[in-house]
Structure 1
Amino acid sequence: MTLNVVFMGTPEFAVPSLAEIIASGHNVVRVYTQPPRRAGRGKHLTKSPVHQFAKVMGLPVETPESFRKSKIIDGLESLNADVACVVAYGQILPQRALDAPTYGCLNLHGSLLPRWRGAAPVQRAIMAGDTQTGVQIMQMAKGLDTGDILLSEATDIRASDTAETLSQRLSQLGAQIWPRALGAIEREALTSTPQTGEPTYAHKIDKAEARIDWSRPAQELDCHIRGLSPFPGAWTEYDETRVKILMCENISERGNKPGDYHPGTLLRREEQVEVCCGAGGETLLRLLRVQPAGKAAMSAQDFMRGYKHDAIIGFD
């Protein structure tokens, strides 16, 4: 049978899931997304990526400020939907909304639960140095990402992954498992497994976390920088200019020992730009891509060509 589906999502991460659900032949009866927000230099009201895609596909869209208003839930219940598919919607749904569709609300989450429940699972997984993550579809329940698991797909976190590249990969991986979940509902064969293990929480990224502490080891900073790239971007100061570090590489394990330098000491060696890290400056991080305030992203070499300092200089 063809299912009547409600879709709830907001960012670019959610668009492939909506596209895959449409392509699998199900009837999307309503799309809920966050209201237009002001964005860009002109601060113009901008529709969410899901909103824009849904309108192109001719789907009805609603943008409630809050799902706690009775009239909004009344509207959801009137749709008589079989299931709601939720992907990074950005609002907490009350129990009455969770119960409105026949099979409830299913949520696509970007981690292997119960690890990294919460708002920033992709960033936190990289920042913590995890080597594996994945996507899971769970049955939504009261509580933060506490529901039973319905489907899972795992993927390795690569040494070159940033929050952006890993998010893109998880977005596509998650989109591909929606047809399996909805097909299982059609066959009345959907099974669930309770979460097991000690939960960890992916708290929202705080701006204060973005400033780089060069006294931390290079391995930790490599994960920290990649987990915050490109947004909000881990940053440091150089010549009184704020500089985001967008991509780097831990080269300490290659036998590259910087010597007895203070943390944050910047070295130019064979056209490479490297920074001494750790309490005693004993580990080394190679900078690959940076973005000075007010300028476009560029290679670290191009950035340093604009300065005539000696080979050994310091980041604040």
Structure 2
Amino acid sequence: MRLIFAGTPDVAVPSLRVLAASDHDIATVVTRPDAPIGRRRVLTPSPVAAAAEELGLPVLKTARLDEAATARLATTDAELGVIVAYGGLVREPLLSMPEHGWINLHFSLLPRWRGAAPVQHALIAGDEETGASVFRLVAELDAGDVFEERRYAVPARATAGEVLNDLAGLGAELLRDVVAAIEGGRAVAIPQAGAATFAPKLTEPDGAVDWNEPADRVAGRIRGVTPEPGAHTTVAGIRIKLLDAEVPEGEVLLKPGEIAGHGRDILIGTATQSISVSKVQPAGRPVMSSGDWWRGVRSSQVRAGT
């Protein structure tokens, strides 16, 4: 089949590569425009744009699938549209333009966690299982019938970035199978069942850690907002980014925000037991072992959040 592929970040690249390696013809790759990256704000192509250029595929860079983009895509005679984390809405008449419509690879087990940040919200909520779903794109947010899904057990200390990386590979294989089923006339989509939950995009304040919450919720938030927007607290007035978290075996009681060295790691108190953190990044400094950072603080009186 002739495909339109729409995607932008790193997690969409495995899907693009898998489809490009198949017998299908990718007529156009749609992605967001180049964005300023780094301290020097250098305009940089999206990961999908860079991969498409490497693969020799035509690229349409657009922030919105407006009339101009729709007119250009109409010339491709595509039979199916495929979207993976593009970052924009597909509306009519583009939604109905390909013969087989559009399908979307989404990183959750729908209808749980519809929205822009499903993996992040799953970890914040303490979900022990998530997955990937391929569904038919409709006007309502992530509400279309589901073709197939794959389940994924969340590792104990995994961050949202690590889980997304795993799901990107798992989802690419799932997407390939669904596209093949659609081509062969074997695809069956089933309506979503159960109560929907929603996963809006996270912002910088979502990364602030409240040490008065229970340990499992604190650890889930830290892991869920890592690497973006990033978990953070303050210690002696200095902002500290926390890069991982785990609730260790064996109850260690510290007051909320109280910090204690624990080998190469540190323990931080919550409303229940303490959590373990192994990597931190003080403002203006590189990532380091939390134990090394804490030994440099040289004070047992300071607490996280102060």
Q: For residues 11-67 of structure 1, give each alpha carbon's deviation from its aligned partner in whole angstroms, at most 9, with x where no partner exists.
A: 000000000001112111101000111111110111000001101111110112321
Pairwise CA distance, 1:271: 5.5
**2:302 counterpart of 1:313:** yes
In structure 2, distance between residues paired with 1:179 and 1:216 = 42
Residue of structure 2 equivalent to 1:10:
8
Q: Distance in 1 between matches of 2:185 and 2:216?
A: 47
Does structure 1 residue 273 correspond to structure 2 residue 259? no
Correspondence 1:254-269 to 2 at 5 A: 254-258=249-253, 261-269=254-262
Q: 1:113 — aligned with what?
A: 110
Q: Which amino acid aligns with 1:63?
A: K
Q: Is 1:283 aligned to 2:273, yes or no? A: yes
Give the counterpart letter for 2:171 in structure 1: G
Evaluate the alpha carbon distance shift between residue 270 and residue 86 of structure 1 in structure 2; reply closer, same or farther with a 3 A threshold.
closer
What is the correspondence of 1:1-316 to structure 2 with a 5 Å cutoff?
3-68=1-66, 70-251=67-248, 254-258=249-253, 261-269=254-262, 272-278=265-271, 282-310=272-300, 313-316=302-305
Question: What letter corresponds to residue 44 of structure 2 in structure 1?
Answer: T
Structure 2 portions without partners, runs of 5+: none
Please say if residues 203 and 229 of structure 2, whose CA atoms lie closer than 8 Å, have aligned partners that are also in contact: no
Q: Determine if contact 1:236/1:242 at 8 Å carries over to the other structure.
A: yes
Q: Is the 8 A contact 2:223 2:244 kept in 1?
A: yes
Q: Which runs of 4+ in 1 moved over 2 A?
A: 254-257, 268-272
Secondary structure of 1:296 counterpart: coil
- Counterpart Cα distance in 2 of 1:201 and 1:133: 14
Choose 282-291 or 105-114, whichever is displaced more.
282-291
SS at structure 2 position matched to 1:201: coil
- SS where residue 227 of structure 2 aligns? coil
Structure number having the greater strand percentage? 1
For structure 1, the 5+ residue unaligned runs are none
Higher mean C-alpha deviation, range 203-212 or range 170-179: 203-212
For 2:186 and 2:265, the matched residues in 1 are separated by: 56
Does the 8 Å contact 1:267/1:313 carry over to 2? no
User: How has the CA–CA distance of structure 1 residues 309 and 190 changed in structure 2, closer, same or farther, with 3 Å as cutoff?
Assistant: same
Contact 1:275 1:285 in 2 (8 A): yes
Q: Partner amino acid for 1:15?
A: V
Q: Identity percentage over the alignment?
A: 35
The number of aligned residues is 305
271 and 135 in structure 1: CA distance in 2 versus 1, 3 angstrom threshold: closer
- Normalising by structure 1, report the TM-score: 0.93
Shift of 1:135: 0.5
The answer to whether the 8 Å contact 2:243/2:279 transfers is yes
Q: CA deviation at 1:305?
A: 2.3
Using the alignment, how far apart are the partners of 1:257 and 1:77 within structure 2?
62
Q: Which amino acid aligns with 1:39?
A: I
Q: CA RMSD in A?
A: 1.3
**Equivalent-residue separation in structure 2 for 1:28 and 1:269 (angstroms):** 53
TM-score by length of structure 2 reads 0.96
Task: State the one-letter code of the partner of 2:256.
Answer: P
TM-fit CA distance, 1:265: 1.0
